[in-house]
Structure 1
Amino acid sequence: MSLLVPLAAALLVSSAQIPLATQVQLPSGETVELAADFLTYEADKQVLTARGHCELRTGEMLLRSDEVTYDEANQVATATGNVMFVGPGGMAAVADDVRVDIRSFEATLQGGLFMQKKGVTQEAMLAAKTPEELRSMGETPIILSGTRIRRTGPNAFTVDDLAFTPCECGPGEPTWRMEARSANVILGERATLSWPVVYVESVPIFALPWVYLPLAERRTGFLIPNPNFSGQSGFSLEQPFFLTLGRSYDMTFTPGYFFGSSDQPTIGDPDTNVAGDEFTYKAPRQYGVKGPRLRTEFRYVPSETTRGRVSLGLLHDSQPVRDPRTGFFYTYPSGTPNAGRYVDVPRGWRGEASWQHFQDLGSGWYDRVDASFVSDGNYTRDLTADVILQGLDYLRSTATVFRRQEDSYAGLDVSLRQDIRWPYRFFQDNRVPSQVDPLRPDLPSPVTFQRLPGIVYALPERPLFGGVVGGLRAEFARLAPMTGGFGDEGVDGIFLRDGNHRPLGSIYPGLVDSGQGNGLFDTRDREARDRVDLTSRLATSIPLGDVARVTPSLGVRQDVWAGEYSGRTWQRGYPIAGLLLDTQLTRIWDGEKNRYRHSFAPSLELRYVPGGWGHVPSAGAQRSPGFAQPYDEVDAAVPLDLDGRTRGFLQGVFAVDQTLRVKVGNVYREPLRLRIGQGFDLTRYAPAANKLGDPEPVLRDTFARLTASVGMLTAGGMVRFDPNSGRVTQITGDFNIDNGKGQALYARYDDILTTSEAAIVLRGETPNALGPDSIRRPLDALVGRVSREPPGLPTAERAQALIAGTRLTLGFGLGVRYEALVQPLYQDLANQEPSAPFAQQTLGVSYGPACNCWRIEGVVTLRRDIGLEFSGVNFSVTGLGSFGSGG
């Protein structure tokens, strides 16, 4: 922004020779109006003096003071006493005294202060009578002062003893500022500061030998540097550079360097040591990086209907390469001089990329992209210590082009996933270092299936005839790996990093799975498939007098698959009948100012599938009948037999909804909503489903869901209970208290019964075999199958997590934020002792003025199994951005 426009205008106005006249013409040709209570001119001294309410005015500029003198002989103009200036664009200035040398264009100021105003009109600023009144008007996002200013060009100045801040916290002096010995300024472009120092109150916080500051929005230049420290990667420093590419495009280049964390003592394996003894040596931390990195971000907004951002990051990592099968460093084999020590082979080039894009193409057409990619599975874990981000298993990228209209939807989409559970590299091979195996075998990595592409056409439900509504949806999806026609998982259909084969129900690990990664289409390999899915539904609503309503429906789902590698085809279809019976009782109370409405709405929903025709595709090279191998929620839309045939069912859910609504004026609020329900599976009583005599029980989950909102409090919770096993399968709760003034308290708790990791990975159990009904329920069913734990399999586990935090802003500028992630105790494999329940705790303590035009914060983090570490310092400044990184 043009910080020095008022000064330039003041120089121009003050440099005129002002004769004894109401209107005079300056050398520039501009007309100035002069007004004062008393005017004198001393001809022998060639000095003009104006006293009392002096005012110099042009079309857009105004200069007021108690006295103005002009020495024509020495060409010096002086304004003293309550000097104030108003210029265009919200620029204003106040000073005690201003002395201007017309010949050198040099101005000396006492008590000078230049401001940029917003939220106030030019007319209101011109009407201000005193400097105090001018200062208090509107908002002041920029304040600038200096002791000597010299004009060096049409829009260029040098400023001595510059003091600058982009916001004002009150009518007094700013609580922070940036001072510089000297500065070169080009109006509307940039300022270069020599030896700038950032002061908070009167305490120097940050200093640099030289700084480039853009003085307008979207100006090319360096941004605030970003220092950081973490326990994983040690100290790092990044320096962003902003590049403007016109009004609609810009880029940011951020070179940086990670210095790496200090090595830690490591105990060597006695089995690989020649002497057979344990030994201690230094080794890097398991996670973290070391080396240079360059991040580039390109942003574009070429029109109101198009916007996007593209980013690319490249890192040359000199930390040792890791074994993707174990996640640990490679070690020298037994019998070598360095047996048991890690192999110091650098990881080399790593990187990340992302693309976010949205565009309104017109006529109801849109396109959207949300993509993220990394070079290897450990990239995110190495660059962040946050346990939540480290726990991500997949990166999902989507791109779609669609047309949405009132009566139809058509779309083409692509969905890609990256499996980041293990540190395999995606765009390079995963060869074993020659120090470990001279043959350098390439380790096969898991193959992730993608949706390449998906095509959807849907007709939303609409009136057809006689009160009947109907809808139709058609979808084509190709589910396949990026390359090749199958996943190559081997004979068990599961990718295991050690290559072992563990058949379902086995107690001990089996033999090596020779089919995994062998390039052959084996019995349980996943095959690339093309699928067409058609669903249709007809429904109507029939009132039962004034007390209830019944809504019957009838639908059909038909699926056809084609295997791209085997050339085989499959088909499966089934009808779906539904019935919804509901009613509602309402009572209204009128208060003095509010109206209260309570509704009681019981409902019973039934869903019936008598069976079907065909079956879901079988796994791998098996010929029908074989084990079914569903890929997604559409393949598993109904309960299936082992060979993929549809299992008929008759299910129901009885629920009661209660809602309290409050009308205040013309605004409705819903402070309370409660839903209680019970699921049923009546399949064994449905002979048409061929399930007569099925020993499965009738009851499924009992559930209750509550949401509440009162004043500053919003809260919610859900409980699911399995009456067959007598276990609570899900407890979820959250609340948030926020007064809107910087004080907040929040928490979320999740407790879900799940199939154990050992049963899934080691024994091949289905992940959704256990857990709440919402997890077990197929797409077209109302409830799931019975939650059972087969004998001989590891028992169920409880996935529990509590995230709680608070934010406090105290009256004297102190701010505190705290957040904790609490997870259940587990036994540390190294020392066989229970671990702390706190997985991660973050504490930030900050200080800043009430207006928050600047804030400095220190952050510490305590992570389980890592310990306490200083995460960094964040210093944010309004108008300048922030530097530092922590928490």
Structure 2
Amino acid sequence: MLAVFLSQAAPLLGQTRQQSAQKTGEEINLTADSLKVEEKGSRIEAKGNVELKRQEMILKADEVRFNRETQQAEAKGKVSVDDPLWKMKAEAAEFNLEQETATIDQGEIFLETGHLSMSGKRLEKFSGQAYHIDEGFFTTCLCESGPPTWKVSADQIDLRREGEAIIRGGTFYLMDVPVFYLPYAYFPLRTERQTGFLFPKFGSSSREGFKFEQPFFWAISKSADATVGIDVESRARVGLFGELRTILSRDARGEIALSYFNEGLRKNEDRSVGDRTIADQDIPKNRWSVFATHRQSSPLGWKTYSDIAAFSDDLYLRDIDTFVLDSPRERELRSSRYASSRFGVLRDFNDMRLQGEWAFYQDFIQPDKHTLQKTPQILFRGRRVLGETPLEFRWRAEGVNYLRKEGADGLRLDLRPEMLLPFQLFPYFPGSFNLALRETAYHLYQDEGSFDRNRSRQLVEVRGNVGTSVGRVYDLGTSYLRRMKHVVEPEMSYLFIPRVRDRDIPIFDGTDRINRRNLLTFALTNRLWGKFAQETIAVPEDRDVELVSSANVGDIREMGRLRLALSYDIDRERKGGDSLSDLDMNFRLTPLDYLALGFDTGLNPGPWQMSQAAAVFSLLDPRPLTHRVLDRDFMRPNQLDLSYRFIRRDSLAELADNANLATLSDERLLRRNIVGALGINTLFHLTDRVLLLYNTTYNARDGQFTSNRGGIKLLSHCECWTLSFTLKRSTNPDKTSFNFSFDLLGLSSQNKELFK
């Protein structure tokens, strides 16, 4: 075996390339069974087990001729190229190592990005990832044996740098069976954004009938794209939807989603309403929705923002859902009382903030004519240390203009200056004392019942707290956890607010009713901190591995926390009443980065009953995924999430079943608890190519499931298509729906997480 080291000191490349190479120490190594050097070393001929290395590229062949001056190489016999971005096999090939171009005869090329395979009688590689193929085909299927699931063959194929494929005289094949002829066609091949039709979505519902959805994706520019489509539901509606996303600059971005549906196919509208406590149960023929958001910052420091959610009717979110435009915000609104829209501007000045906001609300339960709108709300708050003293002055000034069609509305100005004095009671007992004065003034636009049009309220708030922190470090010395620190933080606080007369002022929100307080609160917090070993996770070099949960090695983080808090009401003790509040317990445990446990509860110390509780348990599979595929769902680890929420009945328990005050009845049973709900969410890789999903919500109070959703997703053996089935059963509205989705990965695939 002979070897030649080709130093960059020789004029191997053009001047631009040479300068870059000298900076990076680039070199070329050529090894072979026999080497022949001609023309004073400028031409080299190598034969037998030839291997040429240049940076991360390795060229192998039976015979190679290389010109050091032109960087031209000719390879023959079992030619192969191994590069991080692409792989190649051929009978013969010509390369220009400087320009990264090639001409390949009877070759095959595989591009790592997009898992794209292509072969042809003659292939030309241009600068970058651009190719021309004569009498060839391409596919994203990675089949070890047998024909690919799908492929496109053509007389001529051009693959552009932008990830577009243009074919002439082509045929689309399924399992080597020609399906249709393509005299001229365009395909988006990159996994990144590309304009084109996405695969249609299909489904069926017991209420809406057969469902068909055809989306189209438009890559407008590098900073903007859009999705538009048509939705057809055979027993309910026909509609259009669209979503536009754009990043105008580093400091400006926005999104807007619109939809319109015509309910001309619907029959028996009255039977479609599942909740009779909703005030407006009308289902209009023309229905629409608007979702929008934007964030923008100016060079002067001002920031503007908006979040819009508006719907044609109160039942829209319960009735209509789309496969494509199913955002987290929309899913959250499906279980909310209100839809809110806001527009605002703010500016931060060191320790101060000035903010103005307009907020509008759509009530899904009661008539909107009673709903208060904030038009606008002005907020100015800040803090400032007074000279060289320890005193800190804080302030909060808020003005709100409340408007609604019926009921009391008007202006409210709330001023709250505050003085804070930090102190050190003992060397290890820091604390603070707060004194705040509060003035709230009202002006109503019209006479409303017993409320005066101009009223004000004055309050004094006195607060104080003192606490300390003690801890101990334990040197464990294990390979995973080096040290652990246990910290105990006792704290005592006091709050006093005198009683004021406020029945002659309207109720706009919680600011308008502040009860007398004379409370002592005792709290004890235990924390466990861990310092983890400075180690890295070993990954075999010959495996394509993605670490789904990078263990937080070498860091310091909180592993667990338990906080207990109990308040003592001095006034109630004087009157012989129940002077103790619920015992609040807050527990968090994260011993591992893939395991989390949380529990919050309030215990009534009288009968020692839980008044409310919330528990969560989350477990992720820590094992790395051993194979990378184009589908995002298959790149997620196995996971299990459990949650439970409980609220015991109280005087307002009736509102849990009926929040519409206009239809509230005293005949409803008040013995039921307000909430008792169990949630389960699982994602499990049954095999490398079968993914299972199940999530459910069980109403323990009523003894029934409120929603059930299960799904299965199949990945083809060649990893180039997925098939998804989901079945969902809900009680509000009462319907069963079935959805079906098929995607060719890397070809017209939206590449969204279907099982999110």
Superposition TM-score, scaled by structure 1 size: 0.62
1:810: Cα distance to partner?
A: 4.1
1:230: Cα distance to partner?
A: 3.3
- After superposing the two structures, state which structure 1 stretch, 579-588 or 210-219, moved more: 210-219
CA distance in 2, matches of 1:324, 1:460: 56
CA distance in 1, matches of 2:181, 2:674: 53
1:53: Cα distance to partner?
A: 1.5
Partner of 2:539: none
1:414 alignment partner AA:
W
Q: Deviation per CA, 1:160-194, whole angstroms, max 9, x where unpaired?
A: 452321x869xx57996641243653634633565
Q: Deviation per CA, 1:255-291, whole angstroms, max 9, x where unpaired?
A: 3231324xxxxxxxxxxxxxxxxxxxxxxxxxxx322
CA distance in 1, matches of 2:199, 2:320: 18
- After superposing the two structures, state which structure 1 stretch, 56-65 or 566-575, moved more: 56-65
2:410 alignment partner AA:
R
RCO (CA 8 Å, sep 6+): is it higher in 1 or 2? 2
SS in structure 2 at match of 1:700: coil
CA distance in 1, matches of 2:657, 2:285: 34
1:702: Cα distance to partner?
A: 1.6
CA distance in 2, matches of 1:671, 1:346: 51
2:645 alignment partner AA:
D
SS in structure 2 at match of 1:392: coil
Partner of 1:797: 673
1:474: Cα distance to partner?
A: 0.7
Partner of 1:732: 614
1:191 equivalent in alignment to 2:186: no
SS in structure 1 at match of 2:680: strand
Which runs of structure 2 are paired with 1:298-337 in the superposition (5 Å)? 298-320=244-266, 327=273
1:700 alignment partner AA:
S
1:701: Cα distance to partner?
A: 1.0
Alpha-carbon distance change, 825 to 554 in structure 1, aligned in 2, over 3 angstroms = closer
1:747: Cα distance to partner?
A: 0.7
Contact 1:251 1:296 in 2 (8 A): yes
Alpha-carbon distance change, 793 to 584 in structure 1, aligned in 2, over 3 angstroms = same
1:456 equivalent in alignment to 2:379: yes
Contact 1:609 1:649 in 2 (8 A): yes
Name which of 646, 653, 658 aligns with 1:756.
653
Partner of 2:495: 607
Name which of 43, 63, 68 aligns with 1:53.
63
1:748: Cα distance to partner?
A: 1.0
Partner of 2:52: none
1:457: Cα distance to partner?
A: 0.9
Unaligned runs of 5+ in 2: 1-36, 49-60, 95-102, 277-281, 534-553, 624-636
2:342 alignment partner AA:
T
Partner of 2:237: 290
Alpha-carbon distance change, 474 to 851 in structure 1, aligned in 2, over 3 angstroms = farther
Unaligned runs of 5+ in 1: 1-20, 24-31, 39-50, 67-80, 100-106, 117-138, 262-288, 331-344, 423-443, 488-525, 619-628, 640-647, 686-691, 768-789, 827-835
CA distance in 1, matches of 2:86, 2:293: 38
Q: Deviation per CA, 1:511-562, whole angstroms, max 9, x where unpaired?
A: xxxxxxxxxxxxxxx2222111111221222222235334221111211111
1:633: Cα distance to partner?
A: 2.0
SS in structure 2 at match of 1:683: helix
1:466: Cα distance to partner?
A: 3.3
CA distance in 2, matches of 1:62, 1:633: 78
1:532 equivalent in alignment to 2:528: no
How many residues end up aligned between the 2 structures? 632
Superposition TM-score, scaled by structure 2 size: 0.72
Contact 2:258 2:289 in 1 (8 A): yes
CA distance in 2, matches of 1:863, 1:763: 22
CA distance in 1, matches of 2:583, 2:220: 60
CA distance in 2, matches of 1:59, 1:766: 90
CA distance in 2, matches of 1:258, 1:383: 11
Partner of 2:110: 115
Contact 1:223 1:240 in 2 (8 A): yes
RMSD: 4.5
Alpha-carbon distance change, 697 to 839 in structure 1, aligned in 2, over 3 angstroms = same
Contact 1:807 1:816 in 2 (8 A): yes
CA distance in 2, matches of 1:699, 1:539: 28
Name which of 453, 469, 474 aligns with 1:584.
469
Alpha-carbon distance change, 63 to 350 in structure 1, aligned in 2, over 3 angstroms = farther
Partner of 1:406: 350
1:466 equivalent in alignment to 2:389: yes
1:93 equivalent in alignment to 2:93: no
Name which of 837, 844, 865 aligns with 2:711.
844
Which runs of structure 2 are paired with 1:677-716 in the superposition (5 Å)? 677-684=565-572, 693=575, 696-711=577-592, 712-716=594-598
Alpha-carbon distance change, 544 to 816 in structure 1, aligned in 2, over 3 angstroms = same
SS in structure 1 at match of 2:509: coil
Alpha-carbon distance change, 453 to 880 in structure 1, aligned in 2, over 3 angstroms = same
1:240 alignment partner AA:
P
CA distance in 2, matches of 1:761, 1:733: 26
Partner of 1:562: 443
Contact 1:228 1:886 in 2 (8 A): no
Contact 2:654 2:669 in 1 (8 A): no
Name which of 492, 508, 515 aligns with 1:631.
508
1:764: Cα distance to partner?
A: 5.5
CA distance in 2, matches of 1:553, 1:98: 81
1:683: Cα distance to partner?
A: 2.0
Partner of 1:675: 563
Alpha-carbon distance change, 465 to 630 in structure 1, aligned in 2, over 3 angstroms = farther
Greater Cα radius of gyration, structure 1 or 2: 1
CA distance in 2, matches of 1:225, 1:188: 24
Which runs of structure 2 are paired with 1:505-520 in the superposition (5 Å)? none
1:656 equivalent in alignment to 2:600: no
Identity, % of aligned pairs? 19
Alpha-carbon distance change, 477 to 196 in structure 1, aligned in 2, over 3 angstroms = farther
Partner of 1:871: 739
Q: Which has the higher strand share?
A: 2
CA distance in 2, matches of 1:174, 1:631: 71
- After superposing the two structures, state which structure 1 stretch, 552-561 or 813-822, moved more: 813-822
Q: Deviation per CA, 1:743-791, whole angstroms, max 9, x where unpaired?
A: 2221111001252336985996999xxxxxxxxxxxxxxxxxxxxxx99
Contact 1:195 1:208 in 2 (8 A): yes
CA distance in 2, matches of 1:841, 1:359: 40
CA distance in 2, matches of 1:730, 1:207: 63
Contact 2:566 2:582 in 1 (8 A): yes
Alpha-carbon distance change, 796 to 603 in structure 1, aligned in 2, over 3 angstroms = farther
Alpha-carbon distance change, 257 to 595 in structure 1, aligned in 2, over 3 angstroms = closer
Alpha-carbon distance change, 316 to 761 in structure 1, aligned in 2, over 3 angstroms = closer
Q: Deviation per CA, 1:315-345, whole angstroms, max 9, x where unpaired?
A: 2221448879993899xxxxxxxxxxxxxx9
Q: Deviation per CA, 1:75-109, whole angstroms, max 9, x where unpaired?
A: xxxxxx2234699x95653223689xxxxxxx996
